[in-house]
Amino acid sequence: MSACDMQELRWLAPQRLLTGAGCRHRLPTVLADDGRGNPLVVLDPRLGDAPAVADLLRALSPDGRPVARTDQVPGEPDVDCAEAIASLLKAGGHDCVIAVGGGSVIDASKGAAIAATNPGRLADFEGFDRFTIDPLPLYALPTTAGTGSEVTRVTVLGVNDPPRKMSIKSARLVPVAAFVDPDFLATVPPRVGAAAATDALTHALEAYLRPASTPVSRALGLRAATLILRVMRCGADYVTASNLSDLASASMLAGLAFGNSDVGPVHCLAESIGAVYKAPHGAANAVFLGPVLTYYGDVVAAPLAEVARTVWSSELANQDDLTAMGVLLSAVESFVADNEVGTLDSLCGGPIDCERISALAESNNSNASGPIPMTATDYRRIIEAMQPLTV
């Protein structure tokens, strides 16, 4: 974009965005300020009795009565799960949803908030602004540093016939408040946290590299990517309090970046294997990020070199763009390997149907948002380079 081109920025973000250790304790006050007195809490079933969750639930129930809650959310949520939560919302007359979990829980809660107020099936609302009635207000408390869903207008849900991932996008899906509290990250297994961090890096870089991104989205993407790559330099020893705080902030910044821009081809592939093979979304992005960036080649060398030089300023100050880009790609590959995030084969249970996944990726509504045009042929070449013996 030249300096003379005009852009209009319509910024989407939660009305209230609270960050920092312990910010979850402000949730009851925020609910009271908004006049919300009958929430349904949607919990990640993997949280168990994590201390940060336990004291949050106590704070939501000062009189000792149990707060209404459900934890029936699978690792890869689908429309049936979201509609089941919507049934609980309607049956209980709830006036808002509190999502406490990773991207699966927040996305399922977004879908439920739509289905609780709109007639029809969630699949009818695929695309941009297809529903007519405002969803129930959503309060999001992310417990992983990856998805960024706590600040975005998007929910991604599985559809089973045929298996695929669909996106519902609307400004009305942005949570009314988000609480980005790194205390929640203390009990996340390192392998899961590493996959989430690479998911957040994917959000940051895809927003940064998208040609149609605004200067604000690119700036946020650059800052988020810088924070995450600095943590990635620690390899398998990345889990420290300061690193978790940086990852929580970076994930939120990356969410704001792509939420006001878009993701791209890495997500198109990740969502496709998630739909067909139930591959975990963060890990799927982790295995595809390096190969897709490598496939772009020289087109992204200069912008990725800018990111790399921000992180490794002294080492790369006099290196050319391709060398700097290579350092970034190697750092991501090493972090994924050191933390045993997985491989394409391990995530999918063996060789994948290359033609099917390539076609699904091309049909994804974020396919056009990459730095180069991508077709099913391009996606097939990426997969074949990763896994030559596809069926």
Interval 356-372: pLDDT, tens: 999 999 999 999 999 99
Q: What was the pLDDT predicted at 65? A: 85
CA quadruple 39, 169, 354, 289: dihedral positive or negative? negative
Angle of helix 281-296 relative to helix 103-115, nearest 10 degrees? 100
CATH top class, domain 16-185:
alpha beta
Q: What was the pLDDT predicted at 1? A: 47
Give the list of residues 6+ apart from residue 7 with CB closer than 8 angstroms, or none: 1, 214, 215
CATH top class, domain 189-386:
mainly alpha
Q: What was the pLDDT predicted at 162? A: 85
Q: List, by residue range, all CATH 1.20.1090.10 domains of the chain.
A: 189-386
Give the list of residues 6+ apart from residue 343 with CB closer than 8 angstroms, or none: 287
Q: List, by residue range, all CATH 3.40.50.1970 domains of the chain.
A: 16-185
Q: What was the pLDDT predicted at 384? A: 95
Q: Tell me whether the omega of the peptide bond preceding residue 162 falls within 30 degrees of 0, making it cis.
A: yes
Q: What was the pLDDT predicted at 83? A: 98
Q: What was the pLDDT predicted at 23? A: 97
144/184 Cα distance (integer angstroms): 7
What does pTM read for this prediction? 0.94
Q: What was the pLDDT predicted at 391? A: 41
Q: What was the pLDDT predicted at 161? A: 79
What is 120-141 written as a DSSP string?
S-GGGGTEET---SPPPPEEEE
Strands 163-169 and 154-160: antiparallel
Q: Is 216 exposed, middle or buried (0-12, 13-18, 19+ CB in 10 A)?
A: middle
364/43 Cα distance (integer angstroms): 29
Q: What was the pLDDT predicted at 219? A: 97
Question: Do 94 and 109 meet the contact criterion of CB atoms below 8 Å apart?
Answer: no
Q: What was the pLDDT predicted at 158? A: 93
What does pLDDT average to in each consecutive run of 10 residues of the chain (391 residues)?
63 96 97 97 90 92 88 94 98 98 97 98 94 98 96 94 90 98 94 97 98 95 98 96 97 97 97 95 97 98 97 95 98 97 96 96 95 97 81 41
Give the list of residues 6+ apart from residue 213 with CB closer than 8 angstroms, or none: 207, 221, 257, 261
146/358 Cα distance (integer angstroms): 25
Q: Which amino acid is at 176?
A: V
